[in-house]
A and B are shown apart, each in its own frame.
Chain A
Amino acid sequence: MSVMIEKSGPFGHAPSSVSKTMSTVLLALLPATLFNVWLFGWPALFMFVITVGACIIFEAGCLAWQDRPVKSTLFDGSATLTGWLLAMSLPPWTPWWIGVLGAFLAIVLAKHIYGGLGQNVFNPAMVGRVGLLVSFPVQMTAFVPPHPLFSQGAPGFLDSLGLVFGGLKNMDSISAASALGHVKTELTKGIPVSESLPQVFDLTNMLTGMHIGSFGETSAILILLGGLFLMFRGIISWHTPVGLMGALFVCAQLSHMAAPERFASGTFHLLAGATFLGAFFIATDYVTSPISKKGQLVYGMGCGFLIWIIRNFAGYPEGVAFAVLLMNALTPVIDHHIRPRTFGRNSKGEPLPVKGDGK
């Protein structure tokens, strides 16, 4: 009797898996998503379904093309999550091809070209968004004011299909700027922030989400709820969100105190744009962020600082996607330099000196 044993222990495993992790994140995104489907109506729902569906189809195609197991890998939920986050970062009313093209950029270009799940350097959803933004700035900045489902003036089911597939012909008449965009445009016209800001900044609406923005980013409270749920379930830790929001708030608030005419306040920067979505759901992407907690704190702070720089000094009103991609590029460097201290060794890796009573 001699049975060769192919694997050492442990002979037991935590009830964890990639698909469980992914579905927990999806669950956390659900409240904000449902709210925003209600807020922006049928066209937003179609855009969401198209984007997520396209991601799943591209994922399946890439897997089949590479002779990888399609069925088991497809349902790990990673492509769904990428599509979901990409949809949340797009303008709520957008032609169908924007979602499909974004899905192509995210899944094929940003994920599978690099080797698939776990191998990509850049956050796929943000590559999708940034690729679209720089290629189609008009469509990507055509925001609409809230049109709650079944409310007066909200497009019906068929109208919405026409909007999404037939083109948004009268978009100019209904589109409006996001808060960040408004402040930026006014500033270029020479109108100080202190004047333009009160026109768009309503604290209650910013918190609940009743304002103009990308499909999934408007409700700070519901996104925070999802983020806290992820922390409670141990999927993410506080390091990245706190680093990001802390750095952004400190930079914004200090500059605001120094020059209130030129810079918006810390509170505004926290609640406007994709700050909450970015802090809890995008910058925390496992694959493209550092693996150590300390590294995540540094990475989050880097993101926050870059968001502030881009929003205030660059051409674009919003900077979350750019900031995250830039910090993605630094992740390997952060991981190389910031690592936990090994038991029995100092931070340089040398054995600790012998203390205690032994000689």
Chain B
Amino acid sequence: MKLFPIRGGIHPDYRKERTAEKAIVAFPVPAKLYIPLQQHIGAPAEPVVQAGDLVKKGQLLAKGQGAVSAPNHAPTSGRIEAVMEVTAPHPSGLPQLTIVLESDGKDEWANDLPAPIADPFAATPDELRARVAWAGIVGLGGAAFPTPVKLNLGSQLKIHTLLLNGAECEPYLTCDDRVMREYASDVLDGARIMAHTLGAAKIVVAIEDNKPEAQRIMAEAAKPFPNIAVTGVPVQYPMGSERHLTQAITGLETPARKLTADLGVVVHNVMTARAVHKAVREGKPLLSRVVTVSGGAVSEPKNIEVLIGTKLSELISFCGGLAKEAKRFVNGGPMMGQPLPGLDVPVVKGMSGILALTASEVNEQPANPCIRCGTCVTICPCGLVPVEMAAVIRKDHLDQAAHLGVMDCVSCGSCSYICPSHIPLVHYFNYAKGMLNAQDREKRRLERVKTLAEARNARLEKAAAAKKAAAAAAAKKAAEAAASQSTAENRPGA
């Protein structure tokens, strides 16, 4: 397959060999599960159970709210202990509403789960999308964007290609690699169902060249399907970025502020495809995911299939505990993952990795002055000038940062990684993006308030005018009536 070059990028120390050959192991059902109501982008789910309720495995715990949301299901059978605030796996360390489920140890499935869809290719896209929405599936690569919303793009745009993202360009992570090796046919079946839902004729599975075994197995599994192409892509971080992968495969550059779908390409992660397969073919909601537990501080790194809601501390114990002191705990990969406030937080749907990194792995150093070496400019996969943006953000000139294109930054972290002066460039950009988004929201809120106020004034004026008109009409009527009465009175012979 002809590939197209992408700009810049880096070659970080991948350290995948720690877990690449570790087959996925299942983590036993823990005594307690903590299911946060917001594990996805969009509105939080709304609980439909309360403390004391007995639930079966797969039963709905919280339903999605609004267009962009996802429901949650009971990962095992047991009793709802509470719906309460628990520390979320979020950098803030703030609590969020969480359903606490005490396992009864029976792991009994609910008996009202939907039936498998025997022939999904005879089903309508709407039926399939409804099933994926029911299952609570979100992007399992890490973004946790509700999958049904992305599957709906085919109804508005003409989608020609489903690009299945098996690049897994983040260092350390091997969970996608293992899923492709161990569940290749499930992944491809899920992909075919997604392509059918999107109306996409073609499926391309892109796997970075540092996963030759996954490439081989997936290619073998794809042989019966002429519309599926499995292709290797160069090992070049951030190859797994949606826009960059699309460019590498199709040569098409997604315009700023547009989606890859505008070019006819929708990108889904391989593990998401497997979840779709399970929801459609087996009628099972998303209850677990495969997560890579790694990092230099972990005694025995592993790839683990774990129920959503399991506490990270239990997973680390399952991996033999910490052998060394961990400087950082990370949710996801080291490049774009989020720092964790600690290990007393649950596994959520978008958690692809749990890393306990030592100080030498993190290699955090105080920032030195910029020597203008220009490496950040050379490697920026988005063609930005990080050094310049950081300089204006440091002075809090956010409008200038926006002008320089900070909102086009994908936060891949390449510039921070490579900077010889250890300047936390992407930290500046994340700050600026957060502030600019907040400003934008505030602006929109004010505009909306203004529109509402104007509408209210208009309404009041209209009402007042109507009242006046009615009063005038009434007065006129009364006058007419009076006149007619007097006429009548004056009628001769009355």
Residues of A within 8 A of B (CB): 1-5, 7-18, 20-21, 73, 76, 78, 116-119, 237, 286-287, 289-293, 296, 335, 339-345, 349, 351-359
Look across to chain A and name the residue whose beta carbon is closest to the beta carbon of B90: A5
Q: Are B416 and A340 in contact (CB under 8 A)?
A: no
In contact, A345 and B256 (Cβ under 8 angstroms): yes
A9–B332 CA distance with the chains assembled, in angstroms: 11
Which of B183-191, B354-362, B460-468, B478-486 makes up part of the contact surface?
Answer: B354-362
Using known A-B contacts A2-B341, A17-B420, determine if residue A10 contacts B382 with beta carbons closer than 8 Å. no
B258 touches A76 (CB 8 A): no
Sample of 15 further A-B pairs with CB below 8 A, known A10-B334, A12-B417, A358-B262 = A1-B341, A7-B339, A11-B334, A11-B357, A12-B335, A13-B417, A13-B422, A14-B12, A20-B420, A291-B377, A340-B380, A342-B405, A351-B257, A357-B158, A359-B157
Compute how far the CA of A4 lies from the CA of B383 in the bound complex, rounded to whole angstroms. Answer: 32
Contacts of A14 in B (CB 8 A): 10, 12, 417-418
B383 near A354 with CB under 8 A, answer no
Pairwise interchain contact B261-A3, C-beta atoms closer than 8 A: no
Instruction: Give Cα distance in the complex from A328 to B326, angstroms.
Output: 46
Residues of B within 8 A of A117 (CB): 368-369, 371
**Residues of chain A within 8 A of B417, CB atoms compared:** 10, 12-14
The contact sample of 13 A-B pairs, CB cut-off 8 A, is A8-B424, A9-B335, A9-B426, A11-B328, A11-B361, A16-B419, A17-B421, A118-B372, A290-B374, A293-B374, A343-B256, A344-B256, A357-B158
Min CB distance B311 to A, Å, is 12
Query: Given the complex, which residues of A lie within 8 Å of B87, measured CB to CB?
Result: 1-2
Give min CB distance, A343 to chain B, whole Å: 4
Which of B255, B387, B426 is A344 in contact with, Cβ under 8 Å? B255
The reply to whether B91 and A342 form a contact with Cβ atoms under 8 Å apart is no
A residues near B361, Cβ cutoff 8 Å: 11-12
A353 with B255: CB separation less than 8 A: yes
Shortest Cβ gap from B296 to chain A (Å)? 11
- Beta-carbon contact of B427 and A118 below 8 Å: no
Report yes or no: B371 in contact with A344, Cβ–Cβ below 8 A: no
Min CB gap B129→A, angstroms: 19
B159 at the interface (CB under 8 A from A): yes
Partner of B413, one of A4, A9, A345: A9
List residues of chain A with CB within 8 A of the CB of B119.
Answer: none
B93 within 8 Å of A (CB atoms): yes
Q: Is the CB of B159 within 8 A of A344?
A: no
The interface residues of chain B lying within 8 Å CB-to-CB of A289 are 372
- Residues of chain A lying within 8 A (CB to CB) of residue B93: 1-5
Task: Say yes or no: A342-B341 contact (C-beta < 8 A), given A9-B413, A356-B262.
Answer: no
Question: Nearest Cβ distance between residue B239 and chain A, in whole angstroms?
Answer: 14
Which residues from chain A contact B371 at a C-beta distance below 8 Å? Answer: 18, 21, 78, 117-118, 286-287
Q: Is the contact region of chain A dominated by helix, strand, or loop, or is it mixed? A: loop
- By the criterion CB–CB under 8 Å, are B264 and A11 in contact? no
Segment 338-358 of B: residues with Cβ below 8 Å from A? 338-339, 341-342, 344, 355, 357
A residues within 8 A CB of B264?
Answer: 356-358
Given the complex of chains A and B, what is the CA–CA distance between A5 and B405 in angstroms? 26
State how many angstroms separate the Cβ of A250 from the closest Cβ of chain B. Answer: 25
Q: Give chain B residues whose Cβ lies under 8 Å from the Cβ of A341.
A: 383
Interface residues of B in 401-422 (CB under 8 A from A): 405, 408, 413, 416-422
A353 nearest in chain B by CB position: B255
Contact of B171 among A12, A352, A355 (CB under 8 A): A12
Chain A residues near B252 (CB-CB < 8 A): 355-356
Find out whether the CB atom of A17 lies under 8 angstroms from the CB atom of B422. yes
Task: Output the residue of A4, A10, A339 with the most chain B CB within 10 A.
Answer: A10
Q: Is the CB of A351 within 8 A of B337?
A: no
- Residues of B near A5 (CB, < 8 A) are 91, 93, 339, 341
Q: Is the CB of B385 within 8 A of A8?
A: no
Contact (A345, B357) CB under 8 Å given A11-B362, A14-B417, A356-B263? no
B383 with A340: CB separation less than 8 A: yes
Q: In B238-279, which residues have CB < 8 Å from any A CB?
A: 243, 250, 252-258, 261-265
For residue B151, CB closer than 8 A to chain A, the reply is no
- Min C-beta distance of B217 to chain A, whole Å: 29
**B159's closest neighbor in chain A, by CB?**
A358
Q: Which residues from chain A contact B426 at a C-beta distance below 8 Å?
A: 8-10
CB of A8 within 8 A of CB of B427, answer yes
B255: contacting residue among A15, A18, A352, CB under 8 A: A352
B487 CB-CB contact with A under 8 Å: no
Whether A118 contacts B369 in the complex (CB less than 8 A), given A7-B427, A355-B263, comes out as: yes
| A354/B335 in contact, CB under 8 A | no
The answer to whether A344 and B263 touch across the interface, beta carbons within 8 angstroms, is no
- Would you call B363 an interface residue if the criterion is a C-beta within 8 Å of the partner chain's C-beta atoms? yes
Contact A13 B373 (CB under 8 A): no
Q: Are B160 and A357 in contact (CB under 8 A)?
A: yes
Tell whether, in the assembled complex, residue B363 and residue A351 are in contact, meaning their CB atoms are under 8 Å apart: no
B13 on interface, CB distance cutoff 8 Å: yes
Does B372 contact A291, Cβ atoms closer than 8 Å? yes
Q: Does B364 contact A (CB under 8 A)?
A: yes
Which residue of chain A has the shortest Cβ distance to B414 in the bound complex?
A10
Q: Give the residues in chain A near B10, CB-CB below 8 Å.
A: 14
- Check A119–B369 contact: CB distance below 8 A: yes
Which 3 residue pairs of A and B lie closest in terms of their CB atoms, listed nearest first? A356-B263, A357-B264, A291-B374
A344 touches B364 (CB 8 A): no
Once A3-B93, A8-B430 are accepted as A-B contacts, the answer to whether A292 and B374 lie under 8 Å apart by CB is yes
Residue numbers in A under 8 Å from B261 (CB-CB) = 358
Contacts of A290 in B (CB 8 A): 374
Contact partner of B330 (CB less than 8 A), chosen from A11, A343, A349, A355, is A11
- When chains A and B are docked, how far (Å) is the Cα of A324 from the Cα of B334? 41
Q: A15 CA to B254 CA in the complex, in Å?
A: 33
Contact between chains at A9 and B171 (CB < 8 Å): no
Q: Does B384 contact A (CB under 8 A)?
A: yes
B366 to A, closest residue via Cβ: A72
B113 contacts the other chain (CB 8 A) = no
B378 interface residue per 8 A CB criterion: yes
In the bound assembly, the distance between CA atoms of A357 and B93 in angstroms comes to: 44
* A343 near B337: Cβ-Cβ < 8 Å: no
Complex contacts, B370 vs chain A, CB 8 Å: 118
Chain B nearest CB from A175 CB (Å) reads: 38
B339 touches A8 (CB 8 A): yes
| Alpha-carbon distance between A10 and B171 when the two chains are bound, in angstroms | 11
Contact B339 A16 (CB under 8 A): no
Across the two chains, which residue of chain A brings its CB closest to B295?
A11
Give the Cβ gap from B267 to chain A, nearest Cβ, in Å: 13
